[in-house]
Amino acid sequence: MLTESRVTLAPEFLALKSRPLRDLAWSLLYSSLFVPIPSLPTEWFNHDYIDNTDTQYFLLWLQKIDESPLLLDTHLAEQRSTRLGIYYEQLLSFYFAYYEINGERRFDLLAKNHQVNEAKRTLGEFDFIIFDRSTQCVKHVEVAVKFYLGHENYNDSSLRPIKKNKPLHNWHNWVGPNFRDTLAIKMRHLQEHQLQLGKSAAGAQSLIDLMNSKGYKSSVDQDITCRLHISGRFFTPQATAIESPNYCAPSHMTNFWLYHTDTLQGLVESENTRYCLLPKQYWLSELVLWDIEKAELQIFTKDTMLQFLATEEFENEWHFAILDMHKLADQKSNKEQTLAIELERFFIIN
């Protein structure tokens, strides 16, 4: 049964014409994969760099950029990589570099992808080091955007093993669509390495040198707080009920996945139901009609989608959005207006 996703942008954000701005709003406000995890430091899940309770200033800033997007377009063009994770980081770096409240910058972006080196080898890197002017604190913000497909007892199944996929909660059962990565691998790396980097001697010294170079006084004893910002979506198998990822935000359990060889006959079909094949740059926030028209995205009925799946060469994964597309009479112009509402997402994988 189709249900409207609960991880969805509010109407005022959907009204933005710029898709990158909608992606930024989704990344900051609507996409967090986890609630606080008891075994980990509470501060890691404190999103105090986002005005969660009152988004008025954030929305006003986005609307201002939407009217004149040259700054955003120039910022995004500086990063030529087409990888989704790089695009996501570039969106967040735009926020940390330029977000304003009443004309005053909220942050100083001290560094992005700041490497820590020791004896001519790289120990790791900090995603973002920011100075939050509202709290007068320096923060290390580690970020990621991930899409995971749930399996039942993945390590005991006939599917190909994934190196280093050791059990951690039940996260080893949640696997990336390319079968190279799991939630357990990612979370273990974040909590044991990336978020501990500042506590190492080389990491602490690297932060001191960075802040001194930027004109900030620092010492080894200064408290630099860590924050974890991990966005994305979870997808459950279409035909099997499985346990949700431990400590996940419940609103993410609304999407599904299936194999290329499975049947799609179980999908609900109605006169207004359409399916859109999503290029990777459209994997973040939900679609609006403006996206479909501007990018000329492929839209299918159920029948034409089945024909596409039967005839198109398949490699790794396809990501689809399920849409409710219908027409309404516009009383002012006496013309029909097309509406498109994204209901759900699903992956088809090899």
> Per residue of the chain (350 residues), what is the pLDDT tens digit?
233 334 678 999 999 999 999 999 999 998 899 999 998 999 999 999 998 777 999 999 999 999 999 999 999 999 888 899 999 999 999 999 999 999 999 999 999 999 998 888 889 999 999 999 998 889 999 999 999 999 999 999 888 899 999 999 999 999 999 999 999 999 999 999 999 998 889 998 999 899 888 887 654 445 688 999 999 999 999 888 899 999 998 777 789 999 988 877 667 678 899 999 999 999 999 999 999 999 999 999 988 988 898 888 887 899 999 999 887 656 566 666 778 899 999 999 98
Query: Would you give the DSSP letter of residue 248?
Result: B
Which residue in the block uniquely carries the two structure tokens 């509470």?
42
Taking a C-beta distance cutoff of 8 angstroms, is the pair 149, 66 a contact? no
φ and ψ of 178, to 5 deg: -95, 0
The H-assigned helical ranges of 243-350 are 289-295, 302-311
Buried b (16+ CB within 10 A) or exposed e, 146-163: bbbbbbeebeeeeeeebe
> What pLDDT sits at residue 2?
33
d(CA 72, CA 13): 16
Q: Where are the domains of the chain?
A: 11-247
Exposed (0-12), middle (13-18) or buried (19+): which is 288, by Cβ within 10 Å? Answer: buried
Taking a C-beta distance cutoff of 8 angstroms, is the pair 27, 91 a contact? yes
Contacts of 295 (CB under 8 A, 6+ apart): 279, 282
> What pLDDT sits at residue 4?
36
Query: Would you give the DSSP letter of residue 278?
Result: P
Reported in sequence order, the residue ranges of the chain that DSSP labels E, i.e. its strands, are: 100-101, 104-105, 107-118, 121-132, 137-150, 174-175, 225-237, 255-259, 273-277, 299-300, 317-330, 335-349
pTM as predicted? 0.92
Taking a C-beta distance cutoff of 8 angstroms, is the pair 235, 147 a contact? yes
**Residue 16 three-state SS:** coil
Bridge partners of residue 128, in order along the sequence = 112, 141
For residue 177, what are its two tokens? Answer: 């669509």
* C-alpha separations of 279 from 24, 147, 149 in Å: 17, 14, 18
**Residue 120 three-state SS:** coil
Neighbours of 4 (CB within 10 A): 12
Taking a C-beta distance cutoff of 8 angstroms, is the pair 45, 228 a contact? yes
248-296 confidence digits (pLDDT tens): 987 777 899 999 888 776 676 788 999 999 999 999 999 999 999 999 9
Exposed (0-12), middle (13-18) or buried (19+): which is 185, by Cβ within 10 Å? Answer: buried
d(CA 269, CA 298): 18
Which residue in the block uniquely carries the two structure tokens 């990621």?
144
Q: Is 150 left (phi over 0), alpha (psi -120 to 50) or beta?
A: beta
For residue 286, what are its two tokens? Answer: 């939900």
117-147 confidence digits (pLDDT tens): 888 888 999 999 999 999 888 999 999 999 9
